[in-house]
């Protein structure tokens, strides 16, 4: 009987630890997924900003060249 009680207590403790570990893993996975989504969105934003910067630079250079030609 004593061994059975000990085994039951050990199983209960194991179940409790296992449940808590699963909760922690789920929480960490959620944080990881959010980080990945944020990182991807940030990268897309940086790409867009670079594209817009290049377009603005191209337009700016074109306008300066045009102004130089017209003022000559």
Confidence of residue 55 (pLDDT cuts 50, 70, 90): confident
Q: Which residue has the tokens 């910067």?
A: 53
Q: What is the pLDDT of residue 70?
A: 57
CA separation for the pair 28, 8 (Å, rounded): 30
Give one DSSP letter per residue of 19-67, joined into a string.
HHHHHHHHHHHHHHHHHHHHHHHHHHHHHHHHHHHHHHHHHHHHHHHHH
Cβ count near 68 (within 10 Å): 9
Tokens of 17: 């630890």
Mean per-residue pLDDT for 6-20?
98
Q: What is the pLDDT of residue 27?
A: 99
């Amino acid at each position: 009987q004593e061994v059975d009680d000990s085994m039951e207590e050990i199983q209960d403790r194991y179940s409790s630890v296992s449940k808590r570990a699963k909760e922690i893993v789920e929480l960490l996975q959620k944080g990881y997924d959010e980080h990945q989504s944020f990182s991807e969105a940030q990268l897309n934003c940086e790409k867009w900003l670079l594209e817009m910067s290049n377009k603005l630079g191209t337009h700016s250079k074109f306008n300066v060249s045009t102004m130089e030609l017209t003022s000559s």
